[in-house]
Chain A
Amino acid sequence: MVMRSAVARTALVVLVLVAAAACGKKTPPVARAVPPPPPPPPPASTAVPRPPAPPTPVAEPTVVPPEPVRDDSIASASLDDINRNSPLKPVFFEYDSSEIADDARGVLDANAAGLKKYPAWTVTIEGHCDERGTPEYNLALGERRAVAARAYLVSLGISADRLRTVSYGKEFPFEPGHDEAAYAKNRRAHFVITAK
């Protein structure tokens, strides 16, 4: 007990000194009385019997996953960086439709390849609409678009557990305009990587 409190006091003194040194830049150094160091602890061997030897560890070598052949910048990037230059591209839909069009299939095929390359990724598929429908019904339509994209990916062998869907209705247009060019970009399923 005595020993421990002495050690603690020393630690406290050291802390105070370190703190004083850290914030003492503006004031000139001042000689301070330093308490004497505590007496050295008595050798443990004289007071305490030696403990029994610890059990010998029995260890197997851990299997280290194979190193990537090439440095993979995507695998090492942050989620935000990945999503900023996402290899998973959005797919677009016709007006009032949640059918996967032919050109969207090609995009989803590539997205499926990306998801197979990075099997740890989980993805949220967001369904979005253009502004022409009502805000209420577009929640249903957006959901249907997200689920259509998800179903297509699942049909290509991507585990459904990795793909969540969410509908944003018409709340988050990608293009703020009010013409067909903007609408076409807003009717989309957007892929967000949420874990890697």
Chain B
Amino acid sequence: MTGTFHTMCAVGVSAGLAVVALSARPQTPARQPPASQQPAPQQPSELSTVITADAGAPPRMAVPDFIVLSNDAETVAIAQAIAQVLYDDLSFEREFALIPRDTYATIPAAKSFEDVPFARWHELNADAVLIGTVQKTGAGILVQVRLFDVRRPDGHPQAFGKEYSGSAANPRSYAHAISDEIHEKQRALHGVARTKLTFDTDRDGERMGGTIESRSIKEIYIADYDGANQRRVTTGRSLSINPRWSPDARSIAYTSYRRQFPNIFISNIYQGTLEELTKNPPAGESVLPAWSPDGTQLCFASTRDHPGNFELYVVNRDGSNLRRLTNSSGADITPTWSPSGTRIAFTSDRTGTPQIYEIGVDGLGLRKVTSESYADRPTWSPAPFNEIAFASRTGPGQDIKVMDLASGHVRQLTFGEGTNESPAWSPNGRHLTFTSTRSGKSQVFVMDRFGKNLKQITKDGNNYQPDWSK
């Protein structure tokens, strides 16, 4: 059922960027209208140069402020914002060694693509310099970007060129699009600059109605992968927890107590509509949804057959074809799908303490995965990695660990700074988001798959159970 009482309205679709391959050699194809969200077909002539560096080292790249072609304050601000965000986006994957932007001060700013002082960039020991322009148009802005190979003595070939047009409302989205494209073209890497996080939070400080005890509500929020643009997407005014992105990143499934007892809801955040996946059965609670990789099914935990004992169920996205997956005397909760969609890992305390198990979607092939003192919240990594991240009790609190499923080897990524819980993988498997109390309250962090390069995403209120979009 689709309701319109999900009043948080549509979250604006991020500025639709029209993307056009730009190649100096044959001819520049006509720009697409700004309304288009699909990249134009790629021109083969684009892939002429891949920036390299000395063996083993990541190429050193400079990203100066974009050139302002229409001289007004707004465009100047946009040009600076795009360059800074792009610098951060490119730094995030560590495929390039970004030369700090404060070292560019002595290099004269280019006025166009034609007068870039390549010699000076070479002196700075750059392997590549990324030059961009921003121009106001009737409908918004036009952004052109070219990546130049500075190491080549023979005329600094262009390694990458593209132009983008769209709204001036969110300059960050241009930087994210450029970063993902450069990672794709130069490093064959699926970047995450356009991905988003979701989590639940009590930051609004609103209180539950109808209870005698003072109870703080939790609502679902989303944010860009770097923590920018944090915004609320639910108005349950109750408990809304366990958010999980649909594979197309347009819907979030979560557990809501808005009907007094917990049930699975799906918010279609760009349409402003709400679906109730599990209608309140005569008895029973439903929690902890997880999408199948193709988005057609969800797995969740429910007490509908046995009050007091959660079992796992699989249901089609429209609520049909509900079937029971597990049957044990213990609680079976917190499911996560394998990338192939054929297996589900979950938490069960059937042997006493909570441990990670995995089972086929057909209910066959149950296997115990962990032997920790207490393990929960498995999240199956994307391919090509075949790992499960989970929270493990290591002392008074939990730490994030990762098990390689082929070898059974477990590595620990956090080490007792606060309690560290609810890990989730980035879609390229190179990063994890999780919560930690290391800075006081429970906050969302991201780190790389080795536990390094920690970054705090949230700072308001308590924030829990993050998930990372595809």
Contact = CB atoms under 8 A, between A and B. Distances in A.
Interface of B: 211-213, 215-216, 218, 239, 241-242, 257, 260-262, 283, 285, 287-288, 301, 303, 307-310, 331, 333-334, 347, 349, 354, 374, 376-377, 391, 396-398, 419, 421-422, 464-465
Interface stretch (A36-44, A60-68, A162-170): A162-170
B239 A134 contact: no
B361 to A, nearest CB: 20
Nearest to A146: B308
Interface stretch (A23-31, A50-58, A112-120, A136-144): A136-144
Contacts of A124: 260
A86 B211 CA distance: 13
Interface in A113-162: 124, 132-137, 139-141, 143-144, 146-148, 150-151
Contacts of B419: 132
A176 B420 CA distance: 19
Contacts of A168: 239, 257
B19 to A, nearest CB: 39
B427 to A, nearest CB: 21
A134 B307 contact: no
A134 B331 contact: no
Given A134-B422, A135-B464, A136-B377, A166 B285 contact: yes
Contacts of B218: 171
A48 to B, nearest CB: 52
Interface of A: 80, 83-84, 86, 124, 132-137, 139-141, 143-144, 146-148, 150-151, 164-168, 171-172, 174, 190, 192
Nearest to B377: A136
Contacts of B239: 168, 171-172
20 contacts: A84-B212, A132-B397, A133-B374, A134-B376, A135-B241, A136-B422, A137-B374, A137-B377, A139-B262, A139-B288, A140-B347, A143-B285, A146-B308, A147-B307, A148-B308, A150-B307, A164-B283, A165-B308, A166-B257, A192-B211
Given A134-B376, A135-B465, A164-B283, A147 B308 contact: yes
A143 B334 contact: no
Nearest to A166: B261
A171 B241 contact: yes
B308 A80 contact: no
Contacts of A167: 262, 285, 287
Contacts of A143: 285, 303, 308-310, 331
A165 B260 CA distance: 11
A88 to B, nearest CB: 12
A74 to B, nearest CB: 15
